[in-house]
Chains A and B, each alone.
Chain A
Amino acid sequence: MVPTEAFVILSMVLFAMGTLGVLLRRNAIIVFMSVELMLNSANLALVAFSRQWQNADGQLFTFFVMTVAAAEVAVGLAIMVAIFRTKQSINIDELHLMEG
């Protein structure tokens, strides 16, 4: 049986890569995909600990995270489409509408 630690380490590495993607990539869609990667790695840790304690609550939370992620992706991509219409770009360095 694969130890829980191995899954947690893998999930940690994926989470760090997702963070790097959010901070370093300029394309808003790639940033979004990195956020999905981070959510997924958190899910992986949840499921691993759920097996560790033989408690299915962790799997339920993963299920809810997936649903919320689906809603978030739908709204986020809609915002991106709306921004692209006005600015003709989704490079997040060019998007500073809220700057004072």
Chain B
Amino acid sequence: MTVEILLFMAVGVVTIVTAAMMLLSQNAVHSALFLIVNFIGVAFLYLMLEAPFLAMVQIAVYAGAIMVLFLFVIMLLGAEKTGAGANLRRFPWLAPVAVTLAVSFIISVGAALTQGQIDAQAPEARDAQVRFVHAAPIAMSESVEGGLPANRTFVLRVNDEVIDESFVFGDETEFVEVAPGLVNIGLRATADGQDLVTTTLELTANSVQTAVLAGEEAISFYSVAQPDTAGLTVFNAYPALPALAFGDLKGELFDDARRILPVGADEVAFGTASAPLQYPADFPNWVAYAPGSIEDVSRITDAAELRDVVVRISEFLPEMRYNEDALVVIGTERRPDGSLRPTATRLDAASLEPFGSVRTIGGMLFIDYLLPFQLVAMLLLAAMVGVIVITYRGEHVPKPSRATRRKVARPLTSVIASQTGSDLAEDDAPKLPEKTEPVAGD
């Protein structure tokens, strides 16, 4: 039993127990609190179901806003205690009927599930996604366009289906969906119909791959899987060197010497990609060099040493930004005279948003479901107006009470004194309270 199933069982038990406590508890405040725990458990299940956006909305809207509204109304009405009116049941037959209904519902759906009437087996596998990149400086044909030799174009086929009619050096195709398994890839020259590459790639389900055409003599496709974490992935398509290491080339203060601060622990062999690296913010001057070719990377005095073995990544890609998410292919390109020189190309990291991500949901919400979204917004507005109308009691004017309206012309003691002719003691006489001005701004 995997950790995931154990987690599911734990959270499932929590949701069922809190739902039961919500139903059984006599105090409505306790019920609301149990329901909040239930909702948080359901949000956790959404996370397990690849719906992180919905999980957050569940916590913010359901467990947050709606339940606060419930608690607010319970407190406002003072309706915590609910057992009082239990004796005046109007439908005594309701309890057995309700229990029968619930049990029959569980039995019918459960039977359908166990009998296989509902097709809910393992989730469907998604097709593999693959794109192709041309990074092999294939010797150019004899034809000359405007003084420069033209690149040879190729037809790219996947399982005998044409993906790109004119696949030339530096091209990058869109992602194509391919059924997982062994995939035949063919590259045929447009001019003479010669097959340059016929190879097979193994693509697993749900994977996202970039197939890079690399090499100078022996040309083939090398596939790179999309890494799980964000960062700068560097692909080695530089056939002159067996492996590449990466570093930040810095000048030394008060000295002509320079040094390379290595980045990333691993050396990257030809046809493979590095682990994701972080592109720094402070004017980086990244280079790729052959490990071992420079005697001492911490102090380089020989300029020739640098020139021979180094591919200057940052100079080729001045548009690279801090912490960028990209795939950089280091390879060679052919000069017009036919010689080769190192180059670096930047590709967008990926492409495919994972299922259920905020961007996927947002895109669907504002493109495919724009009208329902607007209708729901109108509904919320109508609900808001409705709430105000229902609870509005008209203008509240406090009735002036009789006590303050009665006017007393003379104190009672003076009336008694004038009728009996004898003064009451001043101390014993009841006195009217001082007239006070009502406090403004009440």
Contacts and interface: CB of A to CB of B under 8 A. Distances in A.
B205 to A, nearest CB: 11
Given A26-B82, A30-B31, A75-B387, A47 B122 contact: no
A63 B387 contact: no
Given A2-B4, A4-B120, A59-B356, A23 B57 contact: no
B322 interface: no
A78 B390 contact: yes
B240 interface: no
Contact of A60 (B38, B69, B361): B361
B248 to A, nearest CB: 41
Q: Interface on chain B toward A: helix, strand, loop, or mixed SS?
A: helix
B23, B28, B379, B380, most chain A CB atoms within 10 A: B23
Interface in B46-88: 46, 48-51, 53-54, 57-58, 61-62, 65-66, 69-70, 73-74, 76-77, 79, 82, 84-86, 88
B386 A30 contact: no
A91 B85 CA distance: 7
B77 A90 contact: yes
Contacts of A26: 82, 85-86, 89
Contacts of B103: 16
A34 to B, nearest CB: 7
A4 to B, nearest CB: 4
B118 A8 contact: yes
A98 to B, nearest CB: 13
B113 A10 contact: no
Contacts of B46: 44, 47
Contact of B66 (A7, A24, A50, A69): A69
A17 B105 contact: no
Interface string B20-50: 1011000010011001001100100110111
B53 A37 contact: no
Contacts, number: 230
A37 B57 contact: no
Q: Interface on chain A toward B: helix, strand, loop, or mixed SS?
A: helix
A63 B57 contact: yes
Interface string A39-76: 01001100111111110110110111011111111110
A67 B39 CA distance: 15
Nearest to A57: B364
Contact of A17 (B19, B97, B386): B19
Contacts of B28: 27, 29-30
Contact of A73 (B70, B106, B356, B365): B70
Interface stretch (B8-16, B225-233, B279-287): B8-16
A10, A69, A84, most chain B CB atoms within 10 A: A10
B90 interface: yes
A43 B365 CA distance: 17
A28 to B, nearest CB: 8
Interface string A1-19: 1111111111011111111
B309 to A, nearest CB: 47
A29 B74 contact: yes
6 contacts: A7-B49, A20-B102, A25-B82, A66-B62, A73-B69, A96-B90
Given A36-B66, A50-B356, A72-B383, 8 more contacts: A8-B118, A20-B23, A24-B95, A37-B35, A51-B51, A59-B54, A60-B369, A78-B390
